[in-house]
Chain A
Amino acid sequence: MSDAFDFSVPPFDRLTPEQQQRLAASLDLGVYVRDSVILNRDGAADCLFVVRQGLVHERRGGEVVAVHGAHDSFDLQALFSGGQARSFVAAEDTLCDLVPRPVLLELARENAAFGAVIQQDFADRLSALASERSNRETAALTMARIRQAYLHPPVFVEAGASLRDAAAAMKQNKASSVLVRDGDPKSGGRIGILTGTDLRDLVVLDGRPVDSPVGPLARYELLSLDRDDLLFNALILMTKHSVRRLVITEQGEVAGLLEQTDLLAVLSNHSQVIALQIDRAASPDDLRQASHDIVGLIRTLHGTGVKVSFIADLVTELNRKIFRRLFELLAPPDLLANSCLIVMGSEGRGEQLLKTDQDNGLILRDGYECPSLSEVTGAFTRHLVEFGYPPCPGRIMVSNPEWTRPLAQYKDSLFHWIHRPDEAAQMNLAIFYDAAAVAGDDSLLAEAKGYLLGRLQDNQMFFTAFARPALAFDTPSGLFGGLFERRRNEAVDIKKAGIFPIVHGVRALALEKHMAETNTTERIWALADKGVLDRAVAGELADAFTFLSTLRLKAGVDSSVTGTQTDNLVRTEALGKLDRDQFKDCLALVKKFKELLAYHFHLNH
């Protein structure tokens, strides 16, 4: 029947005629219309799809990462390891020959040449995925500008000042060098440098009197770069001339000094360095340093224009590593084996950029008792606060016994939250639905979540109540655009007006469809795959969500030194024209999305 199957295309040309016949007899045929989902994100595949005609887009989030045409096959990862973060969507009307997994495995076992090709493809695939990530980050670092590094403010002395004056200026300003101004630079004067090492050599070794003027002694061949030059060029210049500092100019004026240590600090804010630091941490103090470095990493990546979703992925991973390592350092082995540390809320969704309130909990195995439990959990929370994760105002933390409980009690709470919803219950349910396992036995969380989804009937009343908070805050936009213009000087709370309605609305839709995803963007795309959201709307929504998160990050990075996020206010007049227009468009879209939610969940009745 599948005479149309083309056996001349690798790897199938490796098969013997008898094996070809066996394969042909085992084929099913998939018929997919345009825009239909062939293989879901995380969906396990029971067969290898070989495109006979048509075109298939491999998507990650909203991006098309690969296109499969006739004779291409997918997806070995879904077939063998599962959990691919990609979905496959027919871009045209498409026919696929379906090779069942058992037949493929059997043929690969029998026919070594065929098996080798399949295995090689699979290995290539995995390594391509792995290197893509680290490339993006390295590229970002090579693009970093000097502007992103710390510059020491310049300390000037006049040419007539003595060596003693120069030393005093260094001490007073805690600087390791001074700049010597010989005449007015605007009228042919020059600027030189005198470092601490120079002073030592001149006074101690050469025996110059401390009151001799610095003017003739300073070095005037300055190595300088513009502030907008690449950090990489600074590194090269320093290496070439074996110096440890450069003079940085901005529009011809001296802006400051770039020290080698500060330059290396920026370049070493590489996620792999931090990850290594976390893995090797032998005490909570080592982790504190790593946690501090994450803030620098965010700044560098954000400064070089790396996409926020990518930064969020990276930061989520590093934060979870820190939590896991800290828990492993503090908890006795039997506690580790009989409990599951979970993070909830934005951390669970993997959307945390700067350090927000800690939302975490501990699920204990039923029947397990740990004598030192309260000390461990108390220390855990205390250390996180030290690392700069502010305590949760709602006390959703492991140190609170309410959130460190056996599985059975979690189930009881879930039952209450569902069946006796009040405001706190709704919120607890919402953040618990976003929970992700960080350390210990993650089957405990899986069981609790399974219980949650199992208890949810198709109860419209419940979902109506659950979704309602998405409309709780006003989104200034739409018809009142004019009013918005007049209120321009008022700051908009970007979290309440934009981010929260999207996050919670998408969460409600996802919960209604019993989805396992926790990340908002992933949920949006999964909802599009299920046909709940129109693909175009999903794309706009995901874009708006990314844009608003970027704005929020920008506000946070600018306003905080410690890297904690407290301020969510965006002042529209402080935005550029382009940003402001896009911001207004996003808010209009959020408004539209709220209308969709109101309609979907009958919130107006």
Chain B
Amino acid sequence: MPTETIASVVANGVVAAPVPVADTAGPMAEHPDRALLLSGEDTGERVAIHCEATSFDAATADLRSVAALRIRGARILTSQRLVLGFWPTEPAEPALSRLLAFIGNRPLIGYYLDFTVAMLDRLVQPTVGMALPNQRIEVSSLYYGRKSKLPGKYAVDLRLDSILRDLDLPPRVGDDACAGALAAAMVYLRLEPPQP
């Protein structure tokens, strides 16, 4: 089963990644990215992911950009970040293929992750033949789980910027997908530090 190697990823670059050969042999044939997503390899890594879209309605919005960051131990590998732009006039497959290679079988971490994954699934489902199977970790629910244990009658403020402020993390610089992914990664590491 051919698996795509993880090419060196260039920040923000538009790269002509190899287009996966469209499978025409029949519905039973498997898309090569499928094996990547379902591989049993344990990298110990996680991927923080965030997207920008034209609206917050996952059914109708258009995807604009996706940013993904790998997390290894206590480190956020910002130097190897992947930022992809999507345009309605361009085919999404090359970018999607790079994204799936970057993610692999790693658990996904994000803020409002369901929306990001729903947006991606609209692209992944038709090409790969299944929705993203990765484990999902929603940082706002990690935060809520921690806050709701404390006695108090106030509602928990779940806005991302409020969470950052409350956890004494640096504020987002800009509000692009990349800043969102970095914020989610930091919140995750602060709330779920790696065990020594």
Which A residues contact B (CB, under 8 angstroms)?
Answer: 1-4, 25-33, 36-38, 52-53, 93, 95, 98, 100, 529-531
CA of A530 to CA of B193 in the docked complex: distance in angstroms?
14
Known: A31-B74, A31-B186, A53-B170. A36 touches B193 (CB 8 A): yes
Q: Is B75 an interface residue (CB 8 A)?
A: yes
Give every chain A residue within 8 A of B185 (Cβ-Cβ). 29, 31
A–B pairs, 26, beta carbons within 8 Å: A1-B179, A1-B182, A4-B170, A4-B173, A26-B79, A28-B75, A28-B77, A29-B76, A29-B78, A29-B182, A30-B76, A31-B75, A31-B76, A31-B185, A31-B186, A31-B189, A31-B193, A32-B74, A33-B193, A36-B74, A36-B193, A36-B196, A53-B168, A95-B169, A529-B196, A531-B195
Give every chain A residue within 8 A of B46 (Cβ-Cβ). none
Interface set, chain B 72-101, CB cutoff 8 A to A: 74-79, 81
Q: How many A-B residue pairs have CB under 8 A?
A: 61
Choose among B77, B170, B196 the residue that contacts A37 (Cβ–Cβ < 8 A): B196
Known: A36-B74, A531-B196. A93 touches B79 (CB 8 A): no
Give every chain B residue within 8 A of A530 (Cβ-Cβ). 196
Choose among A3, A25, A33, A36 the residue that contacts B79 (Cβ–Cβ < 8 A): A25
CA of A30 to CA of B73 in the docked complex: distance in angstroms?
9
Interface set, chain B 157-186, CB cutoff 8 A to A: 167-170, 173, 178-179, 182, 185-186
Give every chain A residue within 8 A of B11 (Cβ-Cβ). 25
Give every chain B residue within 8 A of A93 (Cβ-Cβ). 167-168, 190
B13–chain A nearest beta-carbon distance, Å: 12
CA of A468 to CA of B116 in the docked complex: distance in angstroms?
55
CA of A29 to CA of B173 in the docked complex: distance in angstroms?
15
Which B residues contact A (CB, under 8 angstroms)?
Answer: 11, 74-79, 81, 167-170, 173, 178-179, 182, 185-186, 189-190, 193, 195-196
Give every chain A residue within 8 A of B74 (Cβ-Cβ). 30-32, 36, 38
A31 B78 Cβ-Cβ under 8 A? no
CA of A37 to CA of B73 in the docked complex: distance in angstroms?
12
Interface centre among A4, A38, A93 (most CB of B within 10 A): A93
CA of A603 to CA of B173 in the docked complex: distance in angstroms?
55
9 closest pairs, A vs B, by CB? A31-B189, A33-B193, A29-B76, A531-B196, A1-B78, A3-B173, A26-B79, A30-B75, A28-B75
CA of A30 to CA of B182 in the docked complex: distance in angstroms?
12
CA of A3 to CA of B189 in the docked complex: distance in angstroms?
20
A28 B193 Cβ-Cβ under 8 A? no
Known: A1-B81, A2-B78, A53-B170. A33 touches B196 (CB 8 A): no
Give every chain B residue within 8 A of A26 (Cβ-Cβ). 79
B79 A27 Cβ-Cβ under 8 A? yes
Closest to B182 in A: A1
CA of A26 to CA of B81 in the docked complex: distance in angstroms?
10
Give every chain A residue within 8 A of B173 (Cβ-Cβ). 3-4
B75 A98 Cβ-Cβ under 8 A? yes
Closest to A31 in B: B189
CA of A98 to CA of B189 in the docked complex: distance in angstroms?
16
CA of A574 to CA of B102 in the docked complex: distance in angstroms?
70
Give every chain A residue within 8 A of B196 (Cβ-Cβ). 36-37, 529-531
Give every chain B residue within 8 A of A32 (Cβ-Cβ). 74, 193
Give every chain B residue within 8 A of A33 (Cβ-Cβ). 189-190, 193
Closest to A92 in B: B168
CA of A2 to CA of B76 in the docked complex: distance in angstroms?
11
Closest to A4 in B: B170
CA of A592 to CA of B81 in the docked complex: distance in angstroms?
49
CA of A36 to CA of B170 in the docked complex: distance in angstroms?
20
Give every chain B residue within 8 A of A31 (Cβ-Cβ). 74-76, 185-186, 189-190, 193
Give every chain A residue within 8 A of B190 (Cβ-Cβ). 31, 33, 93
Closest to B171 in A: A4
A29 B193 Cβ-Cβ under 8 A? no
A28 B79 Cβ-Cβ under 8 A? yes
B161–chain A nearest beta-carbon distance, Å: 15
A28 B170 Cβ-Cβ under 8 A? no
CA of A29 to CA of B188 in the docked complex: distance in angstroms?
13
Give every chain A residue within 8 A of B79 (Cβ-Cβ). 25-28, 100
CA of A492 to CA of B70 in the docked complex: distance in angstroms?
58
A95 B81 Cβ-Cβ under 8 A? no
Closest to A38 in B: B74
Give every chain B residue within 8 A of A531 (Cβ-Cβ). 195-196
Give every chain B residue within 8 A of A98 (Cβ-Cβ). 75
